[in-house]
A and B are shown apart, each in its own frame.
Chain A
Amino acid sequence: AQSVTQLGSHVSVSEGALVLLRCNYSSSVPPYLFWYVQYPNQGLQLLLKYTSAATLVKGINGFEAEFKKSETSFHLTKPSAHMSDAAEYFCAVMFSGGYNKLIFGAGTRLAVHP
């Protein structure tokens, strides 16, 4: 069965510091992996996706993620945090068996302080 684990429900960083949000997955087949961001009282916005091409994936707003098969990880990083990055971040794996559904982690709330 496919599942996603996000380590750390809350992460706090200083403005300008490195952002690292952790995601590990379990899947019996090579997965498609996604990071979504959710701002308060809004829906989900796609940040980036891995679909078996380059293992280092660049997304919007300066975020990137690296797929590491040996570690079953897909951690999200940003070199320098901005106040506007404060939001909830969700890692997801796609189940693809006749239809596509996303299986989400529990989310990590990122706080950025001055």
Chain B
Amino acid sequence: ETGVTQSPTHLIKTRGQQVTLRCSSQSGHNTVSWYQQALGQGPQFIFQYYREEENGRGNFPPRFSGLQFPNYSSELNVNALELDDSALYLCASTSSGGARSYEQYFGPGTRLTVT
């Protein structure tokens, strides 16, 4: 069973630039969630994708957007980067329906630094 993978591991961008982060969900999982974890804090929910559509969103501005592809992999796009966007971005996958639909499995994260 392949776990959740994310790329790249680390990324350095300049304020105002755009960035794309990628996530491959665990085998058999059809739902992907993205979280932002600032230094010293707990993860904050950004949004969730199911069947290639966003079906839930946290308190993040529209410059945070995403995609989910037919193979359930996902992208997180952030436009007009700000210094406060510097964080660890975590992707989590889950299988909707059934006894384990509440279990979210996390990838190792992408560390984004905005300078």
Question: Which residues does A use to contact B, with CB under 8 Å?
Answer: 4, 32, 36, 41-46, 49, 51, 90, 92, 94, 96, 98-107
Contacts and interface: CB of A to CB of B under 8 A. Distances in A.
B48 interface: yes
A32 B102 contact: yes
A96 B33 CA distance: 14
Interface stretch (B11-19, B50-58, B62-70, B78-86): B50-58
A94 to B, nearest CB: 6
Given A44-B90, A100-B102, 15 more contacts: A4-B42, A43-B4, A43-B90, A43-B106, A43-B108, A92-B42, A96-B102, A99-B56, A100-B31, A100-B94, A100-B101, A100-B104, A101-B48, A101-B58, A107-B42
A46 B90 CA distance: 14
Nearest to A106: B42
B41 A100 contact: no
A49 B102 contact: yes
B58 A90 contact: no
Contacts of B102: 32, 49, 51, 94, 96, 100
A90 B33 contact: no
Interface string B24-43: 00000001010100001111
